[in-house]
Chains A and B, each alone.
Chain A
Amino acid sequence: MNRKHFLDSILTLGTVPALRFAEGIAEEPTRVTTPKYLKSGDVIGITAPAGYINHNEIQPSILQMESWGFKTKIGLTIGKKDFTFGGTDLERANDFQQMLDDPSIDAIMCARGGYGMVRIIDRLNFNRFAQKPKWIIGFSDLTVLHSHLNRNYGIASIHSKMCNSFPDDWSKAEIIQVETINSIRQALSGETMKYMLDANQSNILGKAEGVLVGGNLKTLETLSGTKSDLNTAGKILFVEDTGEYLYSIDRMFWNMERSGKLAKLKALIVGGFKVKMDSEGEDFGRTVYDIVLEKVKKYDYPVCFDFPVGHQKNNFALKCGVKHRLEVKEDSVILREVSDVR
């Protein structure tokens, strides 16, 4: 059997255990489908597949994206509210499906995270999207989409801030806010992304090249074993989280390790982790650095900490599913997109 066809056929099974699947794909040249980059006049659809958001809250993002030369199309879920959700499951799924299938929409920005993507992911039909992919933008709960697209379709997507993080007044915004929001435009317009940051003394030095995948750690854990489960073999994994206890972060990294996601990485990028304080007398006694390092000490790939991705101001756009090169050096860290695979 032709190897490529064999891989295609196991891809469609969906229930193949992650490890077996991972071993198969690790030897393959990276298959990446990059959606068409946006140009002036292209349309960005805005939808709320998870938490609810109203029209006022997305106004700053609309103005900004229009100032970049894009048009916007507001989905029916904006302003919809079903308790915590941006509409019922059916409404959110329909809105998202419509954006996926509408040929006049060139990219889809999720207005905000929260919770809810996993409730509708299996209702979505990606057939048309897979034929003609478009950029899907978001993070946090939308890690479900990044992971699902990477695992099932090998289609790239953008992990970045969403509509709810655009500053109300661009002229008064902090520089970091401006830079992070601008990074969405850069990513969408096809600029080759490059990030430089200071070294962290806990970093493990080295260089690696691989497809970048990742997102919110808790969300990745809750995808474990499902058909949206991330395959990390041969890839650069980034993770971030917020509002979790240290013990819970530890448990999530154990899930990564015990489900085989750390063993065959090319590199690990640890973003922001906003930790919930331990209760008195329940001191966990380990930092996030300790938690990560004890899991990866038996491997020999580079690891960098405090990468500017997460539930924080310095959350830069990252292209999931696109090949990157990470250099963790003594004095600095550089992550750059490898553009020759396009």
Chain B
Amino acid sequence: MVKLPPYLDRGDTIGIVCPAGYMAFEKAERCIQILQSWGFKVKIGNTLGGNSTNYFSGTDEERLADFQGMLDDEEVKAILCARGGYGIGRIIDQIRFKKFRKHPKWIIGYSDVTVLHAHIYSNYRISSLHAPMAAAFNDGENEYVQSIKLALTGSLARYETRPHHFNKIGKAKGELIGGNLALLAHLSGTSSDFKTKNRILFIEDIGEYLYNIDRMLYQLKRNGKFNKLAGLIIGGFSDGKDTERPFGITTDEIIQDVISDFEFPVAFGFPVSHERENYALKIGVKYTLDIDSETVTLKEH
């Protein structure tokens, strides 16, 4: 069983850091206000709106120190990564999880944060929260932003979505793992790689070439990630690109093609993505995925 960090109460503190790309402070202001309106205190890390002039929110040392500080700060009950981008893979092997393992806390984010989710789940069997980040709060308190609060305060999620004509009907129960496809593929063969046996895998991505989506799925397939999978959830694949010579089929068709030999149930078009539709999902927690012709339900246990 995966270890659940303690849920949050009113008055608890959420730390905000940027472990990867740069984010201006103003872009996170709305997020901070909303977190406070939920009754949480907010602790701002040095890497949010720092004085970095390049891609990253700070040097590797600065990003590591900020994240490590929040990880070890007993007052901080959850860490929200304000944005993804790229950069966690550069510092992951230097993060010390010793204190965190004894006193786990919720780590929140998606995209590049997939590295943290997979690493923590595979190595320490501790749950974390795949969920919208600071920029999502600028759209206001929609149900996806709300799902963060519900997840952090211990509500069991039950997400329902529309059927999709590519869905493979069926029911699966297992621990949930997943995130950004490019990062999941990239972690193959490293110490942050993850197992999928008897688990439910979800994937999403943005801005990838169709051929590259195909290639990454082949990597997962050839790594045996689909062999004993309980169920598969396909999130958004927004802003897909194509080569001058068209790939000829859509992302959904690519996915359908790669997994055609397997029996597990599959749900397409699930609201986990780089767009507005992005429900909070607890990595490592047991869920039931129920796909029938009318509806798709993902229910947390």
Residues of A whose CB lies within 8 Å of any CB of B are 15, 17-18, 51-52, 82-84, 114-115, 118-119, 122, 221-229, 247-248, 250-252, 254-255, 258-260, 278, 282-285
Contacts and interface: CB of A to CB of B under 8 A. Distances in A.
A52 B219 CA distance: 22
A118 B218 contact: yes
A224 B189 contact: yes
A204 B54 CA distance: 27
Nearest to A50: B211
| Interface SS majority for chain B | loop
Contact of A118 (B222, B247, B248): B222
10 contacts: A84-B247, A114-B245, A118-B222, A224-B188, A228-B222, A252-B186, A255-B189, A260-B189, A282-B55, A285-B55
Contact of A83 (B53, B192, B248): B248
Nearest to B223: A225
B54 A229 contact: no
A225 B140 CA distance: 41
A122 B243 CA distance: 25
Nearest to B59: A285
Contacts of A254: 89-90
B190 A255 contact: yes
Contact of A250 (B90, B189, B191, B193): B90
B216 interface: yes
Contacts of B192: 258
Contacts of A258: 89, 93, 189-192
Nearest to B249: A83
Nearest to A18: B189
Contacts of B216: 222
B248 A82 contact: yes
B222 A226 contact: yes
Contacts, number: 91
Given A52-B245, A222-B185, A251 B222 contact: no
Contacts of A83: 245-249
Nearest to A229: B189
B186 A115 contact: no
B217 to A, nearest CB: 10
A25 B247 CA distance: 40
A228 B188 CA distance: 13
| Interface SS majority for chain A | loop
B214 interface: yes
Nearest to B92: A258
A221 B211 CA distance: 15
B245 to A, nearest CB: 5
Given A84-B211, A255-B189, A223 B219 contact: yes
B245 A284 contact: no
Contacts of B222: 118, 122, 225-228
Contacts of B191: 258
B98 interface: no
Contacts of B186: 221, 251-252, 255
A278 B247 CA distance: 25
Interface string B240-257: 000101111100000000
A84 B246 contact: yes
Contacts of B193: 225
Interface string B175-215: 00000000001111111110000000000000000010011
Contact of A225 (B53, B56, B89, B189): B189
B214 A115 contact: yes
A195 B2 CA distance: 55
Among A119, A222, A255: residue with most chain B CB under 10 A: A222
Interface in B226-269: 243, 245-249
Nearest to A258: B190
Nearest to B86: A247
Contacts of B187: 255
A105 B246 CA distance: 33
